[in-house]
Structures are given as structure tokens and as C-alpha cells.
Amino acid sequence: MSSIVAGRFASIPEAEEVARKLYARGFSVWDVSVMSVNPGGARPPGVLLAAHAKRDRREEVADVLREGGALDLEKASGKWDGGQWTDFDPHRPPALIDEEPAGECWPAPVSARHDDSASRPPHAGPVAAEAVAMESTGNEDPGSELEHYVDKQIGSHG
């Protein structure tokens, strides 16, 4: 299996411009593929630029794609042959690189620390999860509970 980094663009010219930037960094035409993604799969329609990148160059490719305006940046393992991602499946959801964790993160008190996400710093957790785990005001409205928690966090940090 090959290491692949890909990103979606709105047009072929945008993707080709980013491909030229990869060529300028030493990638060959056998390392970069531009293909159309049609509606009907698990991915939004657009133009996908995929690059065959050794593990030590994955982040470099991701940076070039980000700078070029790529959306839905993903990392994948797949079959790369003849300059193409030959086992690409538009019906398979992408493994997004820049996906944000759900919820806004706040520093969690030492007693409430939990490690449920490798992408989130160990001292932070979703506000909603922390608000539920903390003391209740007795109000049945979840929005008020969250507001109370946020006010309390701002007061303790400000």
C-alpha cells in the first residue's frame, strides 16, 4: 500500500496550479494525479488532487495543498500505479486530516480530565461534555446549563 495525501478543489486549473507547486518541490508527474469526483459518492463533487508521498513527505504535501486552497484534505493508504490512485473509491468517506473535534474546547479541571481524543490536547475537552460532568444549577434547560458553565469558566480564567 502506498501513502497518499489528497485534497478537493473547485476546478481543474486550481488543482493543476497546486500540482505545479508539488513538481517544483521535486515530485514527479508519476507522483501526482488530478481527477474529477462526480456527485453521488460519499465525497462532495469537485476535482481531487492526490499525491503519492512517502511518510516523511506527507506533511509537506498537506501544507502545499492547504496553501493552494484544498478542501477536505485527507490521508489514505491505497494502490498507486502508473501515476494514479488506482483503488480510489468515491463512495468511501475520506479520512480527513484537518477535521476539528466536536464542540468548543476549554481547559478542563484536573478532576475532569479525560483522554477521549488523540487530536485534542489532554487539558481540553468539549464544553458540552464538561458542562454535563460539572455541578448542575438545577435548571432543566441545557442551554442555561451550558451558559452557566461557560460563565464560570470565563470567571475562573479572567
Cell matching residue 144: 442555561
In a domain, 93, yes or no: no
The model's pLDDT over 33-50, given as tens digits with 9 standing for 90+, comes to 999 998 777 788 999 999
Please report the pLDDT score of residue 39 as a whole number: 75
Q: Name 9's bridge partners.
A: 47
Q: Are residues 8 and 74 in the same domain?
A: yes
Q: What is the DSSP string of 49-93?
A: EEEE--GGGHHHHHHHHHHTT-EEEEEEEE-EETTEETT--TTSP
Q: What is the mean pLDDT of residues 13-30?
A: 96
In a domain, 23, yes or no: yes
In a domain, 68, yes or no: yes
In a domain, 22, yes or no: yes
Q: What is the mean pLDDT of residues 29-33?
A: 96
Q: What is the mean pLDDT of residues 8-21?
A: 96
Domain harbouring 60, CATH code? 3.30.70.120
Q: Are residues 112 and 81 in the same domain?
A: no
Lowest mean pLDDT among 11-20, 105-114, 148-157: 105-114
Q: Are residues 113 and 40 in the same domain?
A: no
Q: Are residues 67 and 141 in the same domain?
A: no
49 vs 115: which has the higher pLDDT: 49
Q: Are residues 9 and 81 in the same domain?
A: yes
In a domain, 96, yes or no: no
Q: How many domains does the chain have?
A: 2
The model's pLDDT over 118-151, given as tens digits with 9 standing for 90+, comes to 454 555 555 555 555 455 555 555 556 667 677 7
Please report the pLDDT score of residue 99 as a whole number: 64
Cα gap 14→36, rounded to integer Å? 12
Q: Are residues 8 and 36 in the same domain?
A: yes
Q: How confident is the model at residue 107 (pLDDT cuts 50, 70, 90)?
A: low
Residue 112 above 60 pLDDT?
Answer: no
Residue 21 above 90 pLDDT?
Answer: yes
Q: Are residues 46 and 120 in the same domain?
A: no
Q: Are residues 80 and 122 in the same domain?
A: no
Cα gap 4→58, rounded to integer Å? 8
In a domain, 100, yes or no: no
101 vs 23: which has the higher pLDDT: 23
Question: What single-letter DSSP state applies at residue 24?
Answer: H
Host domain of residue 16 = 2-85
Cβ contacts of 60 within 8 Å, gap of 6 or more: 25, 53
The model's pLDDT over 56-106, given as tens digits with 9 standing for 90+, comes to 899 999 999 999 999 999 999 999 999 999 999 998 888 998 765 555 555
Buried b (16+ CB within 10 A) or exposed e, 39-67: eeeebeebbbbbbbbeeebbebbbebbee
Buried b (16+ CB within 10 A) or exposed e, 105-140: bbebeeeeeeeeeeebeeebbbbebbbeebeeeeee
Cα gap 45→61, rounded to integer Å? 22
